[in-house]
Amino acid sequence: MTADRPVHSDALLAEVAALPQLPGVYRYFDADGGVLYVGKARNLKRRVASYFQKNHGGTRIGHMISRIARMETTVVRSEAEALLLENNLIKALNPRFNILFRDDKSYPYLKIHGAPDKAGFVAAAGREPTAEDFPRVAYYRGAVDRRHRYFGPYPNAWAVKESIQLLQKVFRLRTCEDTVFANRTRPCLLYQIKRCSGPCVGLVAADDYQHDVRNAESFLRGDTQTVLSQLERRMLEHAEKLEFEQAAELRNQMGALSKVLHQQSVDTGTDKDVDILAVRVQGGKACVNLAMVRGGRHLGDRPYFPTHVEDAAVVQDFDDAQDEAPRQPVEVQVLEAFIAQHYIGVPVPPSLVTSVPIDRALVEALSEQSGVRIGAVHAPREQRRTWLEMAEKNAALQLARLLAEEGSQQARTRALVEALDLAPDDLEAFRIECFDISHTAGEATQASCVVFQGHRMVNAEYRRYNIDGITPGDDYAAMRQVLHRRYAGLAAQGRDAPDASPPPGADPDLADAEEGAADGEPVAVQEIAAEVPTGEGAEAAATPAKKKRASRGGASRLPDLVLVDGGRGQVSMAREVFAELGLDLSVIVGVEKGEGRRVGLEELVFADGRDKVYLGKDSAALMLVAQIRDEAHRFAITGMRARRAKVRVGGSRLEEIPGIGAKKRARLLQRFGGIRGVAAAGVDDIAAVEGIGRELAEEIYRALH
């Protein structure tokens, strides 16, 4: 190897020389164990050897190759297996030089409870109908099972809820919980506004409700003409029997369904389940817009923004050149990466409509994986063309919005750096961590840490710290605890090896991650618990899942700026912690409320003794500081409320209250229509229930409040 080429170990080069000429997947790692690239090849030996055979200079591909310290390979039986393994590894390892789409939360579904046989939902002879005989329709997110029926997936929660509203308008299916159903004595408001047929109080027969459920299922599958024909036939049958009230109900149902079909512009042709995928690339950024058609109805769309686009495109071009294959446009690379990663573990519809042509081998691999014959077309006609044009327009709009937001954020970052007279080596890597404390009269104290880097909030690195062992309401002690827990490990590593990255698990006290409650919430936030081990022993004690989260969410260096929500008191506490740990005091900045605590009058307080700074109400730098501070406050508040609710409600279920047995619990639920009704009742109301004395009623009230 010449002096101009990167120097790789003899062991690595020998490993490359010994590779078999078989299809497989390879992974490159740097000296710190970070994953650089995951690739697939028809011939492992030829592909991998091509990376080490010549000097690539200072190009991006040369930069990646110079960092390769070791590799791993896996031999597979076919290109389809290689494709699936490659993208599973990309999603799991988050390599630096692959196009990567963030793992989304599980898609929402519309759920119809129960899995009846062909006989339907008719109640057994000799007993009264129960909630199981009248299936409810509900919003659902999570793993599916065979006990119920699921329709979807839907692009977002709004699309599911809109579909439920349609089913209520047309088929009048119930949405109430089974406990509420079992304890109703009169129809609810939904019955009054003709959104439910009132099965809870016997206002609809089980057979008629069964017809409505089956028609709703047919509607969701796109068999709208079949539903209309069945309704018309049943209406005529009732009319012939002179049952004009029933015939009028069916006539109204047909009218409602026809109106819905007209409003939704439902295509009643052959397309039932289709995914429309449009890609747009501009300014080094990309957007894939996924629009979903289910049951012939266009349910909406969702944008996805990949990372590492430019670096990955360079490596992909290099791979194509080694295979003597034509260079693929970046749009094709991005869309193929999305399809390969997105449909792992997600149902694939039989039809894909794409804005650019995709590799046939990719479609065949998806078909093999899903067991469904999948077709893909990129030059559609008629209705499909209309759908694709809509998706392309939305992709362009979403990408333009992203670029505009990033341009604005870059300007704000630059303004803050200049205002504080900082000189970061790389503005893209400029990192801010902001802390806030939240509690209610000292109860359920939590600290939040939010991260700003790369001109955006990095949701995956948000953390929450449960604060214990302090005087309730002592915000200074809480700030001291959270800063010490966050930076003690970094300080120790800095003293031992200034340039070393921390091992997974050595970051402070990582506990289980949690999902955001709604679309747009952070994908994963790190919950911090005091009892989890820290420091060098944490790696051995942590579970594999916790290790993975630690390596993904931890920073390997001190942030460029540490914001604390507070004035001189909080800054003084932060200064004490940093002085104890031997860290740079100049990075600490407090955000002090202005006169009258009015927004726009905040001042910055420094731990190193500099005078306070007022940036100005319309300052871009202050806008960024306020944005980060408000996000830390929001994150702390939501965590505190969740913890408080867990403390108050988690152990306050009726069966866990001393003195409440099965009979008393049943009486309470029957009287008040469920646990929410019990929680809303007063002490006198609870004491009026048979078997519940005044003292026990007060205990129940305290437990539920």
> What distance in Å separates the CA atoms of residue 363 and residue 31, rounded to the nearest whole number?
36
Is residue 41 within 8 Å of residue 24, measured between CB atoms? yes
| Domain end point (choices 400, 432, 450) | 400
Which domain CATH number covers 356?
3.30.420
Tell me what pLDDT residue 73 has. Answer: 92
613 shares its domain with 671: no
Which domain CATH number covers 27?
3.40.1440.10
203 found inside a domain: no
389 shares its domain with 455: no
Tell me what pLDDT residue 469 has. Answer: 83
Domain of 381 in residue numbering reads as 274-400
| Domain end point (choices 93, 121, 152) | 93
439 shares its domain with 472: yes
Tell me what pLDDT residue 371 has. Answer: 80
Quickly count helices (H) and strands (E) in the chain.
Answer: 23, 20
> What distance in Å separates the CA atoms of residue 447 and residue 435, rounded to the nearest whole number?
7
Q: Rg of the chain's alpha carbons, rounded to an integer?
A: 30
Tell me what pLDDT residue 681 has. Answer: 82
Q: In what order do the strands lie in the sheet with 35-41?
A: 35-41, 24-29, 70-75
- 112, 273, 296: which is closest to 222 by C-alpha? 296
> What distance in Å separates the CA atoms of residue 476 and residue 437, rounded to the nearest whole number?
9
24 found inside a domain: yes
265 found inside a domain: no
45 found inside a domain: yes
506 shares its domain with 607: yes
Which domain CATH number covers 444?
3.30.420.340
Which domain CATH number covers 660?
1.10.150.20
**pLDDT tens-digit map of 391-437:** 999 999 998 888 887 778 888 888 888 888 787 778 888 999 999 88
Tell me what pLDDT residue 530 has. Answer: 33
Tell me what pLDDT residue 395 has. Answer: 92
* Rama region for 27: left / alpha / beta (φ>0; ψ in -120 to 50; rest): beta
> What distance in Å separates the CA atoms of residue 174 and residue 180, rounded to the nearest whole number?
11
497 shares its domain with 631: yes
Report the b/e string of 456-483 with b at 16+ CB within 10 A: ebbbbbbbbbbbeeeeeebbbbbbbbbb
481 shares its domain with 525: yes
C-alpha distances in angstroms, 479 versus 461, 487, 489, 570? 19, 12, 17, 7
**pLDDT tens-digit map of 484-500:** 999 988 888 766 654 44
Tell me what pLDDT residue 543 has. Answer: 40
388 shares its domain with 443: no
DSSP state of 532: S
Q: Domains in the chain: how many in total?
A: 4
455 shares its domain with 604: yes
Residues near 484 by beta carbon (within 8 Å), at least 6 away in sequence: 577, 580, 581
Enclosing H/E stretch for 486: helix 475-496
For every residue of 246-304, DSSP letters joined together read HHHHHHHHHHHHHHHHHHHT---SS--SEEEEEEEEETTEEEEEEEEEETTEEEEEEEE
480 found inside a domain: yes
Tell me what pLDDT residue 326 has. Answer: 79
561 shares its domain with 440: yes
| Domain end point (choices 637, 667, 690) | 637
642 found inside a domain: no
358 shares its domain with 498: no
30 found inside a domain: yes
189 found inside a domain: no
Enclosing H/E stretch for 604: strand 603-606
497 shares its domain with 616: yes
475 shares its domain with 515: yes
Q: Which two tokens stand for residue 297?
A: 């109805």
Cis-peptide, bond into residue 153, ω within 30° of zero: yes
Q: Which residues of the chain register pLDDT less than 50? A: 1-3, 117-126, 262-269, 498-554, 647-652
Tell me what pLDDT residue 392 has. Answer: 93
Tell me what pLDDT residue 538 has. Answer: 35
